Amino acid sequence: MRLRDASALPLIAGPEVSATVRLVVETLLARIQSESYGADERLPSERTLAGELGVARNTVREALDHLEAQGVIRRRAGSGTFVRGEDDATAASDVAADTSPLDLQVMRGIVEPEMLRLAIVNMSPRRIEALGQTLSQIEEVQADPDLFARLEDEFHRQLAEGTGNPLLVACYGLILDARRQSFRAALNRRHLTPNRIADFQRRYNRLFNAIAARDIETAAEFMKLQLIEEQRVLLQED
């Protein structure tokens, strides 16, 4: 299996990305491109990378988030972070590209409610605390739809990993790939207004409180209403 060409990937940019995070991303990309970390090879732990690079663990985690969003790495719950080979990265990209907005909403409606229930049962206090940190970042966004969407994805990714089910995590990774397609960015710019962002922030706050309280029914109801709202916006587009 050949390694994906990291040099062809987009550079990390944007005012919300710190220079330190950007440096970590570029360092890891260089290691992957030089095959210091080969295809399907497991990366060192976040703690080890933080020590090697002289940065905080949350900086490494954010850099890994960017690399995962670009399809350079994949995370396996309970196993670690691995370099993606060209074959599996291309296959995932093809599936995501072939997924229509309606197909995406159908899959989310099938997967996300049960994923949430399983996450509430299995998430450790430490994972819930990390989810709360992501919520804090979500609540800081005022008028940046792209940043808000990325943080939404991170919130849901943490829920997927919180289930402790590696197959579900892998399946949800495809959903996240589809959510990052260009049609979604266009929808974000049109519909994620500051007022709607503020409304979603309140909803995520209520969802997190339900998760922290292990209140499955309240959390599931939030997820159902959120999916209905997003489907309503999608149908308006049609």
Element (H, E) at 80: strand 80-83
117 and 232 in a single domain? The answer is yes
* pLDDT recorded at residue 212: 96
39 and 123 in a single domain? The answer is no
Helix, strand and coil in the chain, % to nearest 5: 70, 5, 25
161 and 49 in a single domain? The answer is no
Q: Which domain does 112 fall in, by range? A: 99-237
CB burial of residue 33 (10 Å; 0-12, 13-18, 19+): middle
Q: How far apart are CA 153 and CA 65, in angstroms?
A: 10
* pLDDT recorded at residue 77: 62
Which residue carries 């969407």 as its tokens? 149
52 and 157 in a single domain? The answer is no
12 and 121 in a single domain? The answer is no
**What's the CATH number where 62 sits?**
1.10.10.10
Rounded to two decimals, the pTM is 0.64
144 and 216 in a single domain? The answer is yes
User: Residue 80 forms beta bridges with which residues?
Assistant: 76
pLDDT, one tens digit per residue, over 93-131 is 667 667 787 888 889 889 999 999 999 999 999 999 999
**What's the CATH number where 196 sits?**
1.20.120.530
45 and 120 in a single domain? The answer is no
Closest CA to 23 of 69, 51, 54: 54
Total count of domains within the chain: 2
28 and 85 in a single domain? The answer is yes
Please determine, for residue 74, whether its predicted confidence score (pLDDT) is greater than 60: yes
pLDDT, one tens digit per residue, over 158-210 is 999 899 888 888 888 888 888 877 566 666 777 788 888 998 899 999 999 99
104 and 178 in a single domain? The answer is yes
Q: Which of 69, 90, 111 is the last residue of a domain?
A: 90
115 and 58 in a single domain? The answer is no
30 and 120 in a single domain? The answer is no
Closest CA to 9 of 49, 68, 75: 68
Residue 120 domain flag: yes
111 and 128 in a single domain? The answer is yes
Q: Which of 70, 90, 110 is the last residue of a domain?
A: 90
Residue 45 domain flag: yes
